[in-house]
Structure 1
Amino acid sequence: MSAPDGPYAPPRARRSRLPWAALVLLGVPVLLAVLGPLLYGGDLAPADGALPSRPPGGQHPLGTDVLGRDVLGLVLRGGASVVGGAVAALAVGMAVGVPLGLLAAGPSRRLDEVVMRTSDVLLAFPGLLVLMTLAATGHRAWGWPVAVAGLLQVPAVARLVRGAALAPGARTVVEALRMQGHGWAYVQLRHLVRESAGPLATDAAGRFTTVLYLLASANFLGLGLPASSPDWAVLVERNRDALFLQPAAVLVPAGLLTALCVGGNLLVDRALARGRGLM
């Protein structure tokens, strides 16, 4: 007798379908971000005679926004800044946090204290408040929110790397390698980085969602990209007053942002469940 489907399916059967849902939710916005600019290379300026906030139909399958621009073209062109900014910020966090974590896990206790206490101070600052303060000083260029969002991830990344490097099994191997005459660079860069790769990969997927949320919130509040940008978060903010008149201009980019976050979280949950042997 076959196992039941639907809501009465066994937990293992339901979990086995989870990656497909996660891949679809994550894959659609990522593909739009990568291929969208190639599919739509036209001008984003309002077409002649285009009216603002018009519902879908005719030459505009998703209607027009408050400026009379084609929403479909904006959606196809707006994902690159979303995904690109999140990836760039995550790269900044990893590039700074991993070396700091390795330094903190080294033999110097004083250096460990300096790195960890500094990270404690940085963890106390709310990310969005930092971005608002940055915008108030006049630093509104796209690179500033990306750099700050990446630096805000450094304390957590450094702590993760330090914890993985100080695990009992890792420390035993480190002592053995030092007794064999291997230097600091070999131990840190060859062994400890490899030991931290698994936790870092799992954490990076969840941290991508955190960075994405932070940058999207900044753009939604007008702290990052200009109001004319096709960025999905900017589109939501720009067209929210016309939600009931032209809902597609708000719901489509908002849905893509939601799918990106939910898909990333589902994949992280799947990876963690596999690591615990639940899948």
Structure 2
Amino acid sequence: MRLREIPITAWVGLFGIALVVFCALFAPLIAPYGETEVVGGVWQAGDSQFFFGLDNLGRDILSRLIYGTRTTLFVALAATVISFSLGIILSFTAAVSGGLVDTVFSRFNDLMMSIPTLIFALVVLAVLPQYLFVLILVMAVLDSTRVYRLGRAVALDVAVMEFVEAAKLRGEGKTWIIFREILPNTLSPLLAEFGLRFAFAILFLSTLSFLGLGIQPPTADWGGMVKDNKDGIIFGIPAALVPGGAIAALCICVNLVVDWLLKRTSSLKGGRGDA
């Protein structure tokens, strides 16, 4: 693949993701002030010293935005990886096994999907201790139901193909068939779904933090920053718009990259088929 073949939209997405990752890795080194350090007056306007101004407690918004990338990115990525691992393993197992296993897994998944995700998360998080790993697991389990639905659909399409039947006739086990036969041939839609699920995890985490059941203060995260400064909008203070814009920008960047990767993998498949 040549660099000049990458479209400008993908470059924009890659740059945005790289910037967020850089901020997450080196937050203590590049942030002008500490994560919880009070440096001035409440909702002070932006100037040469405080680029985005100060928040509702007099903390530097830029510094908290940088620190917030670490929390937001880690939680969203961890939840997405766990949800994908759980959803793909269960869905592929159901598709390969069929029969009672497929029925039990699918009906339980339908039951979980029938419950509104946000309401279910709010109820569970209100009961369980508010630890970071609990938040990640709740997000992952709820999101894995969506992954299961797609994974089972694509796995059923591949499971009936001749090379899978040949593997079964050779005596290959279910693990071999799942990871060596089905998974490599379903990467294109799964890759697109991973990007969408990651963007959804960012939005879902921000929603939970805004409602008070996500990342707990004083730890900085983008959804919590919107919640802390939402009252300023009434007085024309844009402090809540900065983290809100960061959430939107990251989701757009992720979707731009996923869209490019999906088109690229699809074109490669078409090229191999034509040859």
Task: Please give the range of the TM-score, normalised by the shorter of the 2 chains.
Answer: 0.7 to 0.9
State the alpha-carbon separation in 2 of the partners of residues 138 and 185 from structure 1. 34
State the alpha-carbon separation in 1 of the partners of residues 53 and 158 from structure 2. 59
Show the 5 A alignment for 1:66-145.
66-145=56-135
Q: Which amino acid aligns with 1:63?
A: G
Aligned length: 262
Unaligned segments of structure 1, at least 5 residues? 1-14
1:149 aligned partner: 139
The answer as to whether partners of 1:52 and 1:68 remain within 8 angstroms in 2 is yes
Structure with larger RCO (C-alpha < 8 A, sep 6+): 1
Q: Which amino acid aligns with 2:132?
A: W
Q: Which amino acid aligns with 1:57?
A: D
Offset at residue 231 of structure 1 (A): 0.7
Q: 1:185 to 1:141 in 2, by over 3 A?
A: closer
Q: Quick one: which of 146, 158, 162 aligns to 2:148? A: 158
Offset at residue 25 of structure 1 (A): 3.9
* Corresponding residue SS for 1:167: helix
Instruction: Kindly report the root-mean-square deviation, in angstroms, between the aligned alpha carbons of the 2 structures.
Output: 2.4
The answer as to whether partners of 2:188 and 2:265 remain within 8 angstroms in 1 is no
State the alpha-carbon separation in 2 of the partners of residues 103 and 240 from structure 1. 46
The answer as to whether partners of 2:35 and 2:219 remain within 8 angstroms in 1 is no
Unaligned segments of structure 2, at least 5 residues? 1-5, 271-275
State the alpha-carbon separation in 2 of the partners of residues 25 and 257 from structure 1. 11
Q: Structure 1 residues 264-273 or 219-228, which shifts more?
A: 264-273
Q: Which whole-Å deviations, capped at 9, do the CAs of 1:186-236 have from their partners, x for residues lacking one?
A: 222322222233322221011111111111100111111223221111111
Q: Which amino acid aligns with 1:191?
A: E
Offset at residue 142 of structure 1 (A): 2.5
Q: Which amino acid aligns with 2:245?
A: G
State the alpha-carbon separation in 2 of the partners of residues 80 and 156 from structure 1. 26
The alignment's TM-score, normalised by the length of structure 2, stands at 0.85
**Is 2:25 the counterpart of 1:34?**
yes
2:12 aligned partner: 21
State the alpha-carbon separation in 2 of the partners of residues 94 and 168 from structure 1. 19
**Is 2:49 the counterpart of 1:59?**
yes
Structure that is richer in helix per residue: 2
The answer as to whether partners of 1:26 and 1:259 remain within 8 angstroms in 2 is no
The alignment's TM-score, normalised by the length of structure 1, stands at 0.84
Q: Which amino acid aligns with 1:163?
A: A
* Corresponding residue SS for 2:175: helix
Q: Which whole-Å deviations, capped at 9, do the CAs of 1:124-173 have from their partners, x for residues lacking one?
A: 12221112112332533232232111111222222322222221575321
Offset at residue 58 of structure 1 (A): 5.0
The answer as to whether partners of 1:101 and 1:159 remain within 8 angstroms in 2 is yes
State the alpha-carbon separation in 2 of the partners of residues 226 and 181 from structure 1. 52
Offset at residue 97 of structure 1 (A): 1.0
Q: Would you identify which runs of 4 or more consecutive aligned residues in structure 1 move more than 6 Å? A: none
The answer as to whether partners of 2:189 and 2:262 remain within 8 angstroms in 1 is no
**Is 2:260 the counterpart of 1:232?**
no
Q: Structure 1 residues 196-205 or 18-27, which shifts more?
A: 18-27
State the alpha-carbon separation in 2 of the partners of residues 45 and 25 from structure 1. 25
The answer as to whether partners of 1:51 and 1:68 remain within 8 angstroms in 2 is yes
* Corresponding residue SS for 2:97: coil
**Is 2:221 the counterpart of 1:221?**
no
Q: 1:105 to 1:73 in 2, by over 3 A?
A: same
Q: Structure 1 residues 57-66 or 68-77, which shifts more?
A: 57-66
